[in-house]
Structure 1
Amino acid sequence: MPRVATSMGHEIGYVEAGGGDATPIVFLHGVGSDKSVWHPQLTHFGRTRRSIAFDYPGYGDSDPAPEGTTRDDYAEAILSAMAALDIDRAHICGLSLGGVVAIAMHDSVPQRCASMILADTFAVHPEGRAIYERSLAGSLDLAAMAQARVDVLLAQPADPQVRREVVETMSRIDPAAYRIGAEAVWLADQRDRAAAIRVPTLVVCGDKDVITPPALSDALADLIPGARMALIAGAGHLANLEKPDEFNAILGQFID
């Protein structure tokens, strides 16, 4: 997989599809995943525009993340990688941790964000501290964690192929990277940053999401002036994988 240098002095992995003159779309993954989670969206949106999914530092094909890396560092890595790939401005689509990073990107350089698509995410999670502490308890065996959490992440009954993919992807994550990602997402409080968003924004959530329930998406949408809210029936926390056709249709209509 290709890699691109960032302003932080290391390289991050990315995968892309498509091209043309339409505004590109950038996809940002969650804490228990990597860029590969976006393959249904790259296939779909790559037919009409340049579509890119990035790894965060430490994830996937990226160089290890330095100790002390923050969500703002993730945001800077993505922004500088976009610049290196000649992407001046893009629709930014982030799921879970990706939504947190997208909000941080807008806070840093709002003019780089043509629009925001914030999926299964939040400005602040009322149980974030407890989730963070539980997620880091024990030896951080990511393979065991994946098996233990997959049926909570996905609406039931889950598609066996999607379930297998989620387990395999989470099992590959480096524990050190997961620790950094867990802090970046679960301890976030970006209510002020969300309230300052002034680009078109779509908030999307699976109606069966128990990790970041629809009420948190409602609260996020209420913070952002003019934000639209959409629920995806029958989807859990990974709505883009569980219901890709519905997810892609909602995003496509919004972008159009």
Structure 2
Amino acid sequence: MAHEPLPSPYAALIAATPVERSALTVRGGRTHLWHYGAGDASEHMVLLHGFRGDHHGLEPIVAHLLRLRPRLRVTVPDLPGFGASPPLPGGRHDVAGYAAWARALLRKVAPTGDVVLGGHSFGSVVAAATTASCEGAPVPLTRRLVLVNPIPRRPLSGRDTLSVGATAVLHGLAGILPEETGTSLLRHPALTRVASVAMVRTGDRALRRWIHEEHGRYFAGFATRASLLEAFHASITASVRDSAAAVDVPTLLIGGTRDDLARVADQRALAARFRDARLGLVPDVGHLTHYETPAEVASQIAPFLAEKGVPAAAA
């Protein structure tokens, strides 16, 4: 028997957060954006969601962050090919393609470069590549970088190679099946549930169920099989490590101590590759800090945004 959907544990906080929706043409395609906070805010942050996500997944962090920094405005786009944003017309949905899109987006929403760029999971890979690719530009794209659950090494080269490889085989199968059948496989609820169960760490049964339902609502919200498969390939073959050494702005990395995609030792090694970075660890959580511990994530981002000087060396 079907049950009533669980309400979000963050529903009241999110409902009290001002939000506006807009759309921009970026690299020939329409990008849909959600702007949280006051329109005349003195600070601006752009946050990029992860693979198979959309803006909804970052709302718990954003709502907690705006409670701590009410003069902040946070813009969260749906990446091309996910959520409400259609695929890039004529462009590839790989790290280079997304970084080029993100650079163009930042030039439109924050032309002076007075903005903080952030990303979660695969969004962290794109955010780091976007920042690194602008080294030496006459007008900086961003003044600081925030990476939540950053991917420290290419997933296919990590300790969880077996499960990543099995997922890659499934996506490969979906790519050779007829279009409709392959797309249905990629959107199958069982695939979503397996991925969700593998990432959840909380012992709170109600929260676990809500997270599974949230993944069920949005995990299949990709535009086309082709764009999804391109993005998936990028997500398992790229990492923040590829760009870290070329990032020349103060950087904050926030990870979970139980993240199988980013073991603590790998996160510390990643932080050391940046010129100027620090690492904050949230205990007893894995890759879903945005769902399980958004308040803790926001509490680390808020003081970092307030700093005017150079942050301390990596932890």
Same fold (TM over 0.5): yes
Measure, in 2, the Cα distance between the counterparts of 1:50 and 1:169. Answer: 24
Query: 1:54·1:78 contact (CA, 8 Å) conserved in 2?
Result: no
> Which aligned pairs between 1:26-175 and structure 2 lie closer than 5 A?
26-46=46-66, 47-65=70-88, 66=90, 68-89=92-113, 90-110=115-135, 111-125=140-154, 127-128=156-157, 130=161, 131=164, 133-134=168-169, 136-139=171-174, 140-142=185-187, 143-157=189-203, 159=207, 160-174=209-223, 175=225
**Bigger CA radius of gyration:** 2
Shift of 1:193: 2.5
Query: 1:12·1:54 contact (CA, 8 Å) conserved in 2?
Result: yes
C-alpha spacing 1:117/1:134, structure 2 compared with 1 (3 Å): farther
C-alpha spacing 1:82/1:225, structure 2 compared with 1 (3 Å): closer
Shift of 1:86: 4.2
Describe the superposition over 1:20-50 as per-residue Cα deviations: whole angstroms up to 9, x where unpaired: 3533111111112112111123323443211
Give unmatched runs, 5+ long, in structure 1.
none
Shift of 1:165: 0.8
1:198 has 2:248 as partner: yes
Over the matched positions of the two proteins, sequence identity in percent amounts to 24
In the alignment, which of 200, 204, 208 is matched to residue 258 of structure 2? 208
TM-score calculated relative to the size of structure 2: 0.74
- Which SS does the other structure have where 1:211 is aligned? coil
Q: Residue type matched to 2:216 in 1?
A: V
Measure, in 2, the Cα distance between the counterparts of 1:192 and 1:176. Answer: 24
Query: 2:149·2:289 contact (CA, 8 Å) conserved in 1?
Result: yes
- Which SS does the other structure have where 1:136 is aligned? helix
Describe the superposition over 1:116-151 as per-residue Cα deviations: whole angstroms up to 9, x where unpaired: 111212343253595262462433423332111101
Which range is displaced more, 134-143 or 181-190?
A: 134-143
C-alpha spacing 1:147/1:187, structure 2 compared with 1 (3 Å): same
- Which SS does the other structure have where 2:145 is aligned? strand
Measure, in 2, the Cα distance between the counterparts of 1:214 and 1:33. Answer: 24
Measure, in 2, the Cα distance between the counterparts of 1:2 and 1:230. Answer: 33
Describe the superposition over 1:136-176 as per-residue Cα deviations: whole angstroms up to 9, x where unpaired: 24334233321111011221435122231122210222433
Structure 1 runs of 4+ off > 4 angstroms?
none
Shift of 1:230: 0.8
Query: 1:210·1:236 contact (CA, 8 Å) conserved in 2?
Result: yes
Equivalent in the alignment of 2:28 = 9
Query: 1:3·1:61 contact (CA, 8 Å) conserved in 2?
Result: no
TM-score calculated relative to the size of structure 1: 0.89
Describe the superposition over 1:78-117 as per-residue Cα deviations: whole angstroms up to 9, x where unpaired: 2222322345322111111111001111122242121111
Shift of 1:192: 5.3
C-alpha spacing 1:192/1:31, structure 2 compared with 1 (3 Å): closer
Q: Residue type matched to 1:54 in 2?
A: P
How many residue pairs are counted as aligned between the two chains?
A: 255
C-alpha spacing 1:165/1:190, structure 2 compared with 1 (3 Å): closer
Query: 2:106·2:141 contact (CA, 8 Å) conserved in 1?
Result: no
**Cα RMSD for the two superposed structures:** 2.3
